[in-house]
A and B are shown apart, each in its own frame.
Chain A
């Protein structure tokens, strides 16, 4: 029994999640000590609500990275599908519920994702190049064909969804309040579905398999092209869902303000222990890593770090975090040293 304990601990110590969790905890405690505001109910709710959009993006990025690919087009994809949706609903003066916005945006997202998936899955082009290209294409369509300007009003259904809340947390000391948006349910549902998919379907295991070795996956009988195609469609839909939620929560549709998020999102996923080379990583780690980035982005101000230093802090965190996992890989792969026998032994 003792040995099994030991091996369990060894196994856990080789994973990234516990370290990310410890760093996260240390950061939270540091902020709490310096400001006394971190563990207040309104701050926690604020962080949870700030996690929704990056969290959804991160789930999409996580899936792609696990499959051995990379996607830098998701902010542009989300912007285009939600912008087109909002504009269309405003043009027809739609007065109904938010569901139609979701249906339209997710359909557009699936289509745009299929565009990525076609080139990456069926034409076997490198994912980075394809998504860099499609990112430009999506931005171009938005700015050219849709002549995008900031939409300061959004359809009434979307507005209502954005302001509705599950509960409101009130800080008894400062009197500040924070809302937990209904959209958080969408995030939790996606999270659970993706978890179940990755663990209990052959499709999900196939994504891990392809990330580990595409040739092996092909020989074992996985439909590699179809799996990749479906994956990018799915990721397009998740990104568009995040886009709609973002617009609803902000109460306006801004064509460019999601652009540029991709780097921090991917950094968070990698920080959570997902191997950038594919095949290894857990959803838990992915969310922990993203949460770390979100907290740094939102709460550093509480300990008096000026916002201009935020990016320096996030950058260092990424370097240290990825460095730590690279070091672990190195430690695991190190040549086993042999025991040199003493002369007398011969």
Chain B
């Protein structure tokens, strides 16, 4: 049995009265790929920050590479071989690849002057370690997310690194890029570097990790061999709830379609898309990242107006040229990046809920009726079970799942006919994901027509009645969800 590389024992940490970690014990061996999972607010990031020295624990002890620490400072952590790769990769988009790679070691050596030759040498050596090929003089801002990540990894490897902590490294990657990343992680493992991999994506945890640790509300709920874990146990440990996946069955589909699209297309994005959408139905649209699915979603809401083809709503020909006309036709849109497109994060939860129906809540001359406002807010907080002590709190105080519910509430307040959802549960933890699915299915049964655009195949299969698969700008198949499976969809997508 190999010695532990890191052992953190009995870690406690609280922030102004909130207990973030309670008696957490964590260990990792050299060359081990260890997955740390947990919902938002479970204490994952706090634990990472304690290991990397950003926070000092209230009590508990740490041992790294045979040396005991009461608390470790960030510099000690780096010097003893701990590197963290944050979700934003900590790169400088305005500088070249070379500088991004060389800065850390130049600063660690306390250099005052720049020697461009030496920087180039450092950078060349750094990327050679993981066989990463890139133009050293390119600006990092012009690279893809995956390339930025490779830069962060190469940079992390320059310091006799023994442990690399990756915070949700796969969030913005395509399937192929995730594959490449995993290959590199496996190579690092061969070299005896331990990887702590933070994720709440089930399939990734199973694919890559040897061991797992799951936190819930600051407590360690399970840890052990990934081989002994299955999907059901995993979601149970994460949420403390048992889920039975409920496949959606459309109960009351309207006889007439509410929306018909005929040969719609946008030059350079997608072409010849025709489908009918009925009330009470959920259509799934799936495809790879550049299949045109996002552009199709945006065109339905008028953000990218179509060049060719036509829309019919309730049998009448209509033009959707901007979001205002879409809303006038009772179409709502839940954006992919809800943080930047769907919410006013600094504003209160309450105002975010009522923003889209604010015109209806006035007494006269645009003066707001406070009674109506309060009632409306209370109604939606209750209906969508948004977890907040006070709806006047800023929106950014909520978890991802709750934020997504507010975006939903905002639209539902308008009594829509059609709701287009782009990646409704991206970045949302398992519990909230389940709740959001339940809400969507109920909405459909109450007569709303929904379109879900997503590359999360289990999500599409579970919640849709029909699935359109897109590839290179065209719909390549129109499947009955009840008869489809993941393998089948994948074969159309690829």
Asked if A and B are interacting partners, one says yes
Measured CB to CB, the residues of A under 8 A from B are 199-205, 208-209, 211-213, 215-217, 219-222, 275, 278-280, 332, 336-341, 343, 345-346
Q: A338-B290, A338-B292, A341-B473 are in contact. Are A202 and B111 (CB under 8 A)?
A: yes
- The 7 closest A-B CB pairs, nearest first, are A337-B268, A279-B94, A340-B473, A212-B94, A212-B92, A221-B107, A216-B90
Q: List 6 A-B contacts (CB under 8 A).
A: A204-B114, A338-B292, A338-B473, A339-B472, A339-B473, A343-B272
| Contact present for A209 and B269 (CB under 8 Å) | no
- Chain B residue with the shortest CB-CB distance to A218: B90
Q: Contacts of B114 on A, CB cut-off 8 Å?
A: 199-202, 204-205
Q: Chain B interface: which size bin?
A: 20 to 34
| Contact present for A340 and B472 (CB under 8 Å) | yes
| Contact present for A202 and B92 (CB under 8 Å) | no
| Contact present for A202 and B95 (CB under 8 Å) | no
| Contact present for A202 and B91 (CB under 8 Å) | no
| Contact present for B92 and A213 (CB under 8 Å) | yes
How far, in angstroms, from A343 to B292 measured CA to CA in the complex?
15
Extra A-B contacts (7), CB below 8 Å, given A205-B103, A221-B108, A346-B471: A203-B112, A208-B94, A212-B95, A221-B104, A332-B142, A338-B290, A340-B474
Q: A209-B95, A209-B103, A221-B107 are in contact. Are A337 and B88 (CB under 8 A)?
A: no
- Chain B residue with the shortest CB-CB distance to A346: B476
Q: Contacts of A203 on B, CB cut-off 8 Å?
A: 112
Flag whether B86 is at the interface (Cβ < 8 A).
yes
Closest Cβ of chain B to A308, distance in Å, is 40
Closest Cβ of chain B to A227, distance in Å, is 12
| Contact present for A209 and B92 (CB under 8 Å) | yes
Contact with A along B259-270 (1 / 0, CB 8 A): 000000001111
Flag whether B271 is at the interface (Cβ < 8 A).
yes
Flag whether B99 is at the interface (Cβ < 8 A).
yes
Q: Which residue of B113, B270, B291 is within 8 Å of A202 (Cβ)? A: B113
- Chain A residue with the shortest CB-CB distance to B115: A200
| Contact present for B474 and A343 (CB under 8 Å) | yes
Measured CB to CB, the residues of B under 8 A from A are 86, 88, 90-95, 99, 103-104, 106-108, 111-114, 142, 267-272, 290-292, 471-474, 476
Q: Which residue of B90, B94, B292, B472 is within 8 Å of A280 (Cβ)? A: B94
Closest Cβ of chain B to A218, distance in Å, is 9
How far, in angstroms, from A202 to B292 measured CA to CA in the complex?
44
| Contact present for B90 and A340 (CB under 8 Å) | no
Q: A199-B114, A340-B472 are in contact. Are A215 and B90 (CB under 8 A)?
A: yes
Q: For chain B, what secondary structure do more than half of its interface residues adopt (helix, strand, loop), or is it mixed?
A: loop
Closest Cβ of chain B to A201, distance in Å, is 6
How far, in angstroms, from A230 to B17 measured CA to CA in the complex?
39
| Contact present for B104 and A338 (CB under 8 Å) | no
| Contact present for A219 and B90 (CB under 8 Å) | yes
Q: Contacts of B267 on A, CB cut-off 8 Å?
A: 337
Closest Cβ of chain A to B60, distance in Å, is 25
- Chain B residue with the shortest CB-CB distance to A275: B94
| Contact present for B474 and A202 (CB under 8 Å) | no
| Contact present for A217 and B92 (CB under 8 Å) | yes
| Contact present for A341 and B472 (CB under 8 Å) | yes
- Among A212, A217, A341, the one with the most B-chain Cβ atoms within 10 Å of its Cβ is A212
| Contact present for A202 and B107 (CB under 8 Å) | yes
Q: Which residue of B95, B112, B270 is within 8 Å of A201 (Cβ)? A: B112
Closest Cβ of chain A to B404, distance in Å, is 24
| Contact present for B93 and A212 (CB under 8 Å) | yes
Closest Cβ of chain B to A224, distance in Å, is 12
Q: Contacts of A209 on B, CB cut-off 8 Å?
A: 92, 95, 99, 103
How far, in angstroms, from A204 to B116 measured CA to CA in the complex?
13
Closest Cβ of chain A to B147, distance in Å, is 15
| Contact present for A346 and B474 (CB under 8 Å) | yes
Q: A202-B113, A208-B92 are in contact. Are A338 and B472 (CB under 8 A)?
A: yes
Closest Cβ of chain B to A105, distance in Å, is 28
How far, in angstroms, from A110 to B472 measured CA to CA in the complex?
60
Q: Contacts of A204 on B, CB cut-off 8 Å?
A: 114
Q: Contacts of B272 on A, CB cut-off 8 Å?
A: 343
| Contact present for B103 and A213 (CB under 8 Å) | no
How far, in angstroms, from A289 to B112 measured CA to CA in the complex?
30
- Among A202, A203, A332, the one with the most B-chain Cβ atoms within 10 Å of its Cβ is A202
How far, in angstroms, from A238 to B91 measured CA to CA in the complex?
31
| Contact present for A215 and B88 (CB under 8 Å) | yes
Q: Contacts of B107 on A, CB cut-off 8 Å?
A: 202, 220-222
How far, in angstroms, from A201 to B116 measured CA to CA in the complex?
10
How far, in angstroms, from A219 to B91 measured CA to CA in the complex?
10
Q: Contacts of B103 on A, CB cut-off 8 Å?
A: 205, 209, 220-222
Q: Contacts of A337 on B, CB cut-off 8 Å?
A: 267-269
How far, in angstroms, from A219 to B156 measured CA to CA in the complex?
12
How far, in angstroms, from A163 to B194 measured CA to CA in the complex?
71
Closest Cβ of chain A to B225, distance in Å, is 34
| Contact present for A338 and B268 (CB under 8 Å) | yes
| Contact present for A340 and B271 (CB under 8 Å) | yes
| Contact present for A220 and B474 (CB under 8 Å) | no
How far, in angstroms, from A202 to B109 measured CA to CA in the complex?
11
- Chain B residue with the shortest CB-CB distance to A198: B114
How far, in angstroms, from A220 to B471 measured CA to CA in the complex?
41
How far, in angstroms, from A211 to B95 measured CA to CA in the complex?
10
